[in-house]
Structure formats: structure tokens, C-alpha cells
Amino acid sequence: MKKLFRYATLTCLACTTVLAQADTGKLLLTGGVSSITGSAGGGLTPWAVIGTNATEGEIGVSSYFTRATTQDYSLNSYGVAIGLKDRVELSLARQDLDASPTIALNGVAAFGVTPGQHIQMDVAGLKVKVAGDAILDSDSWMPQIAVGLEHKQVRPGSLQSVFDFLGVQNSGTDVYVNATKLLLGQSLLLNATLRSTSANQNGLLGFGGTSPASSSRSLQTEISAAYLLRKNLAIGAEYRKKPNNLEVAGAAAGLGDGLAEDDWKDLFLAWAPSKHLSLTLAYVDLGRIVPGITAGRRQTGYYLSGQVAF
């Protein structure tokens, strides 16, 4: 996965030089921004739109960087995506979570977690538009519909012993379907996503768990809404339901709800100063993340993301 990520990144950067000369025709912000897993959409969840500025018959490329910070954690996420003829989207993303608070787990057992531990995860995504068109069908009730998958590989470093104790896997694949409706007359975009997943904290804490109930996949819903204040400025909100696979394992280990997982939500402002650049600022509420070592604090904060697209 590491070699694949490097190769794809270099390839997309090379393509950017060529594609920058192309005059692509998407309306500003209608291709979404880059989600933390690399797919086009909002910051927390993908939409049915195909990323980049490419329209039908064109090939486009985009890259992004996101920084998210809460009371106890910080996350850097960056990646690239290719849009093929406004039909198929291929994406690669890398996430790096500063998980320094997890050293407190050494007080539960001799896990050997090292100070300043980071968790890294690579995400390979595929999205295919299967019906509708967000722009052409904007005057009807037909949404744009896409199906997608995200294959995730996590590298927990010295937290591997904790993963083994909890019985979680280091890789997993999410499968989802989205419906995105653009109401141009009302300057409104609506999105709903249904995701099949076994990921804990989006995969950063592995997949599944020790109990039969938590090792299986579950269906989770995600919703987004964005309002266009003007053609290059939008405000919106997202809500993403999350599985709670690890709470049972935490309770069995005497942690009570110390491994509980909450839903994610955000309020965002997206600005496109040009057709090739977009910036997103958001307030995020990620709920509790391993509350047993963070005094049960809700992880609220911000994220700032920049995307370059051609």
C-alpha cells in the first residue's frame, strides 16, 4: 500500500501539470470537497458526486490536505483522486492520528505503548455513479446515485498489543451507497449515505472486536446538507452515525464505557476563490474517543482543509 500510494501521488501530480491547461466545466463546489478518506463530498462523509473538475468525456485530478484538532487528538489527512469522465472516481488517502493520550493504556495492562504514539491508516477508494446527474436532473426529483468502497489498512505501531487484546483487525473494507440531490433554484444540496462497515473510529482503532456482536458489519447512515450563499461560498452540516463495536470489550476489561464510540457531526464553511482551489473550515464534534483515558471529554474542535482540483 505504501508503494502504491507514492506511485499514485506522483502520477496525479504529474497529471496536474497537463490537466491545468484544460478548461473544465463544472460549477463551483458542485463536485464537493475532499472528505477525510479522500473521496469527494463533505469533510466527514462522501457524496454521490464525482470529484475533480472533470465533466463528461474528461479526466480530472485533485489533491487535498486536512488538519483536524480536538481537545486530546489531532489528525492530518492528505491524498489524491482521479475523476474519469464524471462517472468513476479513484482515490487514495493517508491519515496520521496523534494518539499520544493512549499511553495511559499502560496503566490498564502492560501493553508497552510508547510515548507520542501515532496511528497511520491508508485508504483506497472507488466510487461509481450509477444513476442520475446532479446538474442535469436539478429540475427533477431524481438524485445522483453512486456506490463506493473504501479499503482501509491501519498501522497502529506500539498499539498493536492493544489491538490484539481487543481482537480487532488491522484492515477492513467499507461499502456504501449515496444519493445526492442538488436543488439549483433553492441553492441547496442534500446527501444521504448508507454505509456497511465494521470500522472503529473510521478504522483508526481497527475493525470489529472480540464479541460476536461487534465482529460483524453494521449499517450506518450519514447525512449532509449545504446551502450556497453565493456561487463560490457554501455553508453546511453533516451527521455521521458510528458503530460502537468496542464498548462491550471495554466493559469486559473493567473499563466500563471507556471504549465507547459516538456519532460524528460538523458545521462547515466552504469557499472556492477560483475554479481550481477550495478551502473548508469546520467546527467538529467527534464525541468521545476512548473516553477511558480522556476523562470522558467530548472531542470538539476544528478542521481546515484545502483542495486543488483540475
Measured CA distances, 122 to 116, 119, 173 (Å): 20, 10, 12
Neighbours of 141 (CB within 10 A): 7
Per-residue pLDDT of the chain (310 residues; tens, 9 = 90+): 555 445 444 334 333 333 333 345 588 888 889 999 999 999 999 999 999 999 999 999 999 999 999 999 999 999 999 999 999 999 999 999 999 999 999 988 889 999 999 999 999 999 999 999 988 888 889 999 999 999 999 999 999 999 998 889 999 999 999 999 999 999 999 999 999 999 999 999 999 887 655 557 899 999 999 999 999 999 999 999 999 988 887 777 777 788 999 999 999 999 999 999 999 999 999 999 999 999 999 999 999 999 999 9
| Domain 2-309 is found in CATH 2.60.120.10 | no
Instruction: Write the single-letter amino acid at 159.
Output: L
CA–CA dist 145, 170 (Å, integer): 30
Give me the pLDDT at residue 92, please.
98
Give me the pLDDT at residue 215, please.
59
CA–CA dist 282, 298 (Å, integer): 16
pTM: 0.90
CA 60 to chain centre: 20
Give me the pLDDT at residue 20, please.
35
- Return the domain boundaries, the chain: 2-309
β-sheet bridge partners, residue 68: 75, 303
CA–CA dist 34, 130 (Å, integer): 20
Residue 35 cell numbers, joined: 472528505
Nearest to residue 145, comparing CAs of 132, 159, 161? 132
- If you search the block for the grid coordinates 473510529, which residue do you land on? 201
Give me the pLDDT at residue 212, please.
57
